[in-house]
Amino acid sequence: MVHGAAKRTDRGTVERGTVDQAELQLDLRTPDEQTIDLDLVGSESGTHHEPARVESAPVELPDPRARGPYERFVKPGLDIVVGTLLTIITLPAVLAITVAIWISMGRPAVFTQKRVGRGGRSFTVFKFRTMAHDRRALETPFVGQDRRFVHKSPEDPRITRVGRFLRKWSLDEIPQFWNVVLGQMSLVGPRPELVEIVETKYEPWQHRRHEVKPGITGLWQVSLRNGAEMHQTTEVDLEYLRSVTFLGDLKILLWTVPAALGYRMGS
């Protein structure tokens, strides 16, 4: 077994090691200089492909970044209250989707995956399954990139008919309301990134997006710049971090459903 690590030093550089295909220890520095370990677990499917590193220009943010009363006190309370209400409201949909997945793909209906949260800490995100269990049973073997390094691909033959429907309308994300209630995510914020993408593709300045809790929806999802991979548009998340306000969050929430239908801010 080969162990790997990435360390963010005081000088803003990254010391890189090798990556274990089964387990990854990602060593980041938070603003209070505490070391945090991130443990990688498997995703729904995939084989290992080494991703290309993406170079991009840093975005300037105040250091330390000022957090207003809304971000410190109001936003966490709203997340718990609204997240709990949405968990209750979506319960009939959760039960219907669970049965549909059991019938089409078998159990379990929900899978878990490690993502990077606030402060660079890993947490377990919940999602509905959209892929078949046994990749070897596919008539057309999938030879695309490992889902540990890339996000949703509509051409992936491992996605079932039910899974395609769930992904089209972002219904596979409903269980993440549980993450909001648990205090691991927010309703609005940068989307939680895959651990290996953070380790292999992130520039030091891009870790600033981890200064807030990841969100179920965010500026990247509702903007016209949603065509690129998440790690390639970190500047969009940093735009959000410049001004975390109630009206800004409300605007993003109101644009989330139109964005799922193909209409985004600025279109």
> What residue spans of 174-245 are helical by DSSP H?
176-181, 195-201, 219-222, 234-242
184 vs 67, residue with greater confidence: 184
Distance, in Å, from the CA atom of 15 to the CA atom of 35, rounded to the nearest integer, reads 14
Over residues 237-256, mean pLDDT: 94
Neighbours of 183 (CB within 10 A): 14
Over residues 189-218, mean pLDDT: 93
pLDDT tier at 59, thresholds 50, 70, 90: low
177 vs 44, residue with greater confidence: 177
Tell me: pLDDT of 121 over 90: yes
pLDDT tier at 208, thresholds 50, 70, 90: very high
Most confident range, picked from 9-13, 45-49, 153-157, 234-238: 234-238
Crossing angle of helices 91-105/161-168, nearest 10°? 150
Mean pLDDT computed over every residue of the chain? 76
Over residues 209-229, mean pLDDT: 84
Residue 218: what pLDDT? Answer: 94
pLDDT tier at 145, thresholds 50, 70, 90: low
pLDDT digits (tens, 9 = 90+) for 39-54: 333 345 443 444 444 4
Lowest mean pLDDT among 59-73, 122-136, 180-194: 59-73
Surface-to-core class of residue 260, CB atoms within 10 Å of its CB (0-12 exposed, 13-18 middle, 19+ buried): middle
Residue 19: what pLDDT? Answer: 35
175 SS3 class: coil
Q: List the one residue out of 169, 143, 173, 167 whose CA is nearest residue 157.
A: 143
**Strands of the chain, DSSP E:** 6-8, 14-16, 28-29, 35-36, 110-116, 122-128, 186-188, 193-194, 215-217
Residue 261: what pLDDT? Answer: 79
Cα 8 versus chain centre, distance: 21
Most confident range, picked from 13-17, 82-86, 145-149, 238-242: 82-86
Residue 259: what pLDDT? Answer: 86
Over residues 129-140, mean pLDDT: 66
167 vs 65, residue with greater confidence: 167
1 vs 223, residue with greater confidence: 223
Sorted by where each begins, the domain ranges of the chain are 6-41+68-260
pLDDT tier at 78, thresholds 50, 70, 90: very high
DSSP strand pairing (215-217 vs 186-188): parallel
